[in-house]
């Protein structure tokens, strides 16, 4: 503790503020930082299509593509054979001499850019036959689109040029603004094994489950930001697709059950009377799912293969894509749910391999997800929502339909992690209906705009499902391992989808965590929730960009967040605050009765040097001790006694003070000067907890702007009535601080790092480090892509 002489009368406001500034800027550590300057030219200039507020501008426009498709699923050969008529509406102010079409299936051609630029060597530990056949190029089947005809509305062939996964159709005359053009395409392709986004899963019983997506030639997006968005499909960067209306007739083996984006138009033609009755019953049950196809019936169906065909007709309006699923192995259940006054049919399609998990949870999780997300964004606008069980891990989203992992062991047992993984992936993929299916961002360019926002909402929906849900992303502490990783293995969140390293932590976990921190710590729930919802309202059924999101979050909340976007979205620096030193001051009471007694106590506590201790034993004060008269006089003087002169001086001093000044003098307040360092780089709010000597605690919160004059090293004074025994920085783990050992003052005793003792194995190979494996699991994309 240091005593502070109260300099009464010198605290004029001007002087004190100058003093405070200088006190904050120790010259050696002063850093003229720009972290709180505006983003400026990093954001595009607002214009009539995209306003400075982050809302769509007065002249906002977007294109539209309608599809009328007939497709046959050839189960015997695992092929898709389709024809489509596309009607493309030009709402742009531009003449379009050509159109760009996405040919996503060409990702699986041998010469695809995504295939030929794959890196990595042979794994000496061993590789699967599939991996090897891919490396060796020995696959017997050809994959990718086989396009057999492209014709205009009159039936005349159109000239086209294919550039890998993109195809240009040259129009005979440019498509004028506010006009539309129709053309038709015929194609077929071999379906790949499920690769995380689409394909088939083959079972030992000889049957296939199909999950069919990006299966038809579809329009690329033409917009005010990129013109044509025709970045190649390399596998990692997802899809950029315009809205439109779809009518799709799917012909499948007559014993298949088909589920798809949109509403089926002809259930009465494709379902049995029993199935129709069950479906109608399901449409009245808002409590639990009703089975339309039971497990018994599904198991019976997988024993034979029907020779006939059935055609299922689906319609979907204002969607950005269309996907479907088909199998004779499917169990099918359905339940109605009401979301903000609208009835929505929730359905699950799964083979017996998914049970008992799937019949218990899938459809209930769909309904929960729609309610949770709708409350934070916009009410779910579509009539159905579907979850299908595709392969053990991962998940993939399409409008109204998603393909999800989460599979028990063959004997029906399952671990907690499989159960929570399944519920989490269904929440995530159903949640994608909102981002990017409705709030239709450019996934090929910005992975975080759908994955990050969706993972944030997923975290909230998981906690609403089960207050103890072991969410693996969202909480600041879970991003620490990633933020600690070497800067040359990280890219900013604002990186192109195809160039992102550490994809799961970068595109999912970090933006989700950043939003959680905004909500809990930077903005507060009320300001954040309104702004986030306003973003969804503004951009539902439109194409937002990052700037539209950043601007809306500030525009609707009144919080300047440019420093936060810079730190969390444009950079790779971590957060590391260090509580380097705490100095304790108290006002000198000036009362001689107090100060002299305190001096006495302090002197008595003084540590004695070794020499003094020895002198006490060894040395005789020969003159004084030999002379009793001298001894009495010599030792009767009390240097701690309060003299009349002391009292008068104190009384004179008190007479100069006002009542308020006197109260302050007698308050006994403690003043703690905390020295804080920003070691990580990203400035964040400072949250400090004082634990007082009596065991009670108090929390002091300072906004991130505390770093605006100096982002390296600051001092902050905190006055307290009680004495502080322990200071703790970030006591509730809110800011993703990568080093919490420098967050206590006095420093806490170090915790040991646990390591395992192992016996040398024969051959000398080491056991894998279980800690390291766990780490990777905690921050990586467990269970594959979703």
Helices (H), 208-302: 267-270, 273-282, 295-301
Nearer to Zn ion, 262 or 395 (CB): 395
Supply the minimum distance, in Å, between the C-beta of residue 786 and Zn ion: 5
Which of 392, 703 has the CB closer to Zn ion?
392
Q: What is the DSSP string of 686-717?
A: EEEEEEETTS-EEEEEE-GGGGSS-SSEEEEE
Please say whether the dihedral angle defined by the alpha carbons of residues 170, 171, 172 and 175, taken in this order, is positive or negative.
Answer: negative
Instruction: Identify whether the C-beta of residue 302 lies closer than 8 Å to the C-beta of residue 329.
Output: yes
Comparison of 442 and 451: residue with beta carbon closer to Zn ion:
451
Q: Which is nearer to Zn ion, 451 or 562 (CB)?
A: 451
* Alpha carbon distance 109, 165 (integer Å): 9
Contact 505, 545 (CB under 8 A): no
Q: In whole angstroms, how close is the CB of 189 to Zn ion at the nearest point?
A: 25
Residue owning tokens 């002198």: 615
Q: Please, which residue, 252 or 437, has the CB nearer to Zn ion?
A: 437
Write down the least CB distance from residue 497 to Zn ion, Å.
Answer: 12
Q: Whole-number minimum distance, CB 185 to Zn ion, in Å? A: 29
Nearer to Zn ion, 289 or 436 (CB): 436
CB of 428 to Zn ion, least distance (A): 6
**Considering the complex, what minimum distance in angstroms separates the CB of residue 408 from Zn ion?**
23
Secondary structure of 527-583 as H, E, C letters: HHHHHHHHHHHHHCCECCCHHHHHHHHHHCCCCCCHHHHHHHHCCCCCECEEEEEEE
Going across the sheet that includes 263-264, the strands are: 146-152, 179-190, 79-90, 64-74, 244-253, 309-319, 263-264
Distance of alpha carbon 697 from alpha carbon 296, whole angstroms = 61
State which H helix or E strand residue 587 sits in.
Answer: strand 577-587
Per-position b or e across 503-536, b if 16+ CB within 10 A of its CB: bbbbbbbbbbbbbbbbbbbbbeeebbeebbebbb
Distance CA 766, CA 781 (A): 26
- Burial of 643-667, coded b for 16+ CB within 10 Å and e otherwise, reads eeeeeeebeeeeeebeeeeeeebee
Binding site for Zn ion (CB under 5 A): 451, 786
Nearer to Zn ion (CB atom), residue 83 or residue 786: 786
Rounded least distance, CB 487 to Zn ion, Å: 26
Q: How many residues does the chain have?
A: 786
Residue 561, phi then psi, degrees to nearest 5: -115, 10
C-alpha closest to that of 109 among 67, 130, 139, 86: 139
Q: Is 569 exposed, middle or buried (0-12, 13-18, 19+ CB in 10 A)?
A: buried
Question: Least separation, in Å, of the C-beta of 687 and Zn ion?
Answer: 31
* Shortest separation between residue 447's beta carbon and Zn ion, angstroms: 9
CB of 785 to Zn ion, least distance (A): 8
> Is 536:376 a contact under the CB 8 Å cutoff?
yes
Nearer to Zn ion, 351 or 362 (CB): 362
Q: Tell me how far, at minimum, the Cβ of 761 lies from Zn ion, in Å.
A: 40
Of the pair 298, 512, the CB lying nearest Zn ion is at 512
Task: Kindly give the pairing relationship between strand 96-102 and strand 166-175.
Answer: antiparallel
Residue number with CB closer to Zn ion (434 or 564): 434
Q: Are 298 and 333 in contact (CB under 8 A)?
A: no
Nearest distance in Å: CB 435, Zn ion? 9
Task: Supply the minimum distance, in Å, between the C-beta of residue 146 and Zn ion.
Answer: 30
Would you list the DSSP string of 197-232? SSEEEE-TTS-EEEEE-S-S-EEPEEETTTEEE---
Nearer residue to Zn ion within complex by CB, 642 or 782: 782
Answer whether 777's CB lies under 8 Å from 473's CB: no
- Could you tell me the smallest distance in angstroms from the CB atom of residue 259 to Zn ion? 20
Q: How far is CA 419 from CA 354, 355, 564, in A?
A: 11, 11, 36
Tell me how far apart the alpha carbons of residues 734 and 736 are, in angstroms, rounded to a whole number: 6
Lay out the sheet containing 697-702: strands in order across: 697-702, 686-692, 724-729, 744-745
In terms of CB distance, is 371 or 473 closer to Zn ion?
Answer: 473
Q: Measured between alpha carbons, how far is 277 from 726 in angstroms, rounded to an integer?
A: 68
Compute the C-alpha angle 200/213/159, nearest 5°: 120
Q: For the CB of residue 472, give the shortest distance to Zn ion in the complex, in Å.
A: 14
Structural contact between residues 342 and 379, judged by C-beta atoms closer than 8 angstroms:
yes
Least Å from the CB of residue 306 to Zn ion: 35
Strand partners, 587: 4
Report residue 66: phi and psi, to 5°.
-100, 150
Measured from the CB atom, is 65 or 390 closer to Zn ion? 390
Q: Which is nearer to Zn ion, 348 or 786 (CB)?
A: 786
Both ends of the chain: CA-CA distance in Å? 56
Comparing CB distances to Zn ion, the nearer of 443 and 734 is 443
Considering the complex, state which of residue 495 and residue 704 has its C-beta at the smaller distance from Zn ion. Answer: 495
Return the number of the residue (388 or 686) whose C-beta is nearest Zn ion: 388
Nearer to Zn ion, 434 or 535 (CB): 434
Closest distance to Zn ion from the beta carbon of 385 (Å): 16
CB of 764 to Zn ion, least distance (A): 43
Cross-strand partners of 705: none
């Amino acid at each position: 503790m240091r005593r502070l002489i109260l300099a009464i009368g010198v605290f004029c406001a001007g002087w004190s503020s100058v003093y405070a500034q200088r006190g904050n800027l120790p010259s050696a550590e002063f850093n003229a930082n720009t972290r709180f300057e505006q983003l400026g030219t990093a954001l595009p200039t607002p214009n009539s299509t995209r306003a400075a507020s982050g809302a769509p501008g007065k002249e906002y426009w977007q294109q539209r593509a309608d599809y009328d498709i007939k497709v046959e699923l050839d189960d015997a050969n695992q092929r898709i054979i389709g024809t489509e008529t596309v009607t493309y509406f030009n709402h742009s102010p531009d003449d379009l001499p050509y159109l760009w079409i996405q040919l996503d299936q060409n990702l699986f051609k041998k010469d695809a850019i995504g295939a030929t630029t794959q890196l990595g060597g042979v794994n000496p530990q061993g590789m699967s036959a599939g991996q090897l056949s891919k490396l060796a190029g020995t696959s017997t089947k050809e994959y990718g689109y086989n396009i057999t005809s492209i014709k205009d509305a009159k039936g005349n062939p159109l000239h086209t040029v294919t550039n890998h996964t993109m195809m240009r159709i040259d129009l005979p005359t440019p498509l004028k603004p506010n006009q539309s053009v129709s053309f038709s395409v015929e194609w077929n392709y071999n379906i790949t094994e499920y690769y995380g986004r689409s394909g088939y899963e083959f079972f030992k019983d000889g049957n296939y489950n199909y999950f069919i997506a990006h299966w038809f030639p579809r329009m690329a997006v033409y917009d005010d930001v990129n013109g044509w968005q025709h970045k190649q499909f390399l596998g990692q960067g997802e899809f950029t697709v315009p809205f439109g209306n779809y009518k799709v007739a799917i012909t499948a083996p007559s014993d298949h059950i088909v589920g798809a984006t949109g509403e089926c138009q002809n259930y009465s033609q494709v379902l049995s009377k029993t199935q129709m009755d069950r479906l109608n019953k399901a449409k009245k049950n808002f409590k639990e799912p009703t089975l339309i196809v039971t497990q018994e019936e599904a198991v019976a169906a997988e024993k034979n293969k029907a020779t006939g065909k059935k055609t299922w007709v689906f319609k979907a309006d204002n969607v950005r894509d269309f996907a479907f699923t088909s199998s004779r192995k499917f169990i099918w259940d359905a339940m109605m749910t009401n979301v903000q006054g609208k009835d929505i049919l929730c359905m699950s399609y799964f083979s017996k391999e998914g049970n008992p998990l799937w019949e218990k949870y899938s459809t209930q999780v769909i309904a929960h997800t729609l309610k949770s997300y709708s409350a934070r964004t916009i009410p779910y606008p579509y009539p159905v929502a579907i979850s299908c069980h595709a392969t053990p891990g991962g998940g993939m989203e399409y409008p109204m339909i998603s393909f999800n992992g989460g599979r028990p062991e063959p004997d029906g047992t399952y671990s907690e992690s499989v159960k929570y993984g399944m519920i989490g992936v269904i929440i995530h993929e159903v949640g994608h209906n909102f981002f990017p299916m409705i709030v239709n961002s450019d996934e090929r360019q910005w992975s975080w705009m759908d994955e990050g926002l969706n993972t944030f909402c997923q975290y909230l929906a998981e906690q609403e499902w089960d207050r103890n849900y072991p969410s693996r992303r969202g909480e600041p502490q879970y991003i620490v391992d990633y933020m600690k990783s070497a800067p040359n293995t990280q890219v900013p969140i604002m990186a192109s989808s195809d160039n992102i390293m550490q994809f799961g932590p970068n595109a999912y976990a970090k933006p989700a965590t950043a939003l959680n921190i905004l909500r809990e710590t930077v903005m507060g729930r009320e300001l954040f929730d309104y702004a986030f919802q306003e973003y969804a309202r503004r951009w539902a059924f439109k194409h937002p960009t990052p700037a539209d999101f950043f601007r809306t979050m500030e525009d609707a909340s009144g919080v300047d967040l440019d420093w936060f976007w810079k730190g969390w979205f444009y950079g790779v620096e971590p957060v590391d605050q260090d509580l380097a030193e705490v100095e304790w001051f108290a006002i000198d009471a000036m009362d001689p009765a107090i100060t002299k007694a305190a001096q006495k106590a302090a002197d008595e506590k003084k540590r004695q040097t070794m020499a003094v201790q020895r002198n006490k034993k060894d040395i005789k004060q020969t003159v004084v001790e030999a002379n009793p008269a001298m001894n009495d006089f010599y030792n009767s003087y009390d240097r701690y006694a309060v003299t009349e002169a002391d009292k008068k001086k104190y009384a004179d001093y008190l007479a100069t003070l006002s009542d308020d000044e006197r109260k302050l003098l007698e308050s006994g307040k403690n003043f703690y000067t905390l020295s804080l360092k920003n070691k990580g780089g990203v400035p964040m709010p400072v949250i400090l907890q004082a634990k007082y000597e009596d065991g009670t605690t108090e929390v002091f919160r300072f906004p991130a702007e505390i770093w605006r004059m100096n982002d390296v090293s600051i001092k902050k004074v905190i006055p307290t009535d009680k004495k502080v025994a322990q200071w703790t920085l970030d006591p509730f783990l809110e800011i993703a601080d990568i080093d919490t050992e420098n967050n206590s003052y006095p420093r806490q005793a170090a915790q040991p790092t646990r390591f395992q003792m192992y016996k040398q194995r024969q051959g000398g190979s080491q056991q894998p480090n279980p800690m390291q494996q766990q780490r990777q699991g905690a921050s990586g994309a467990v269970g594959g892509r979703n």
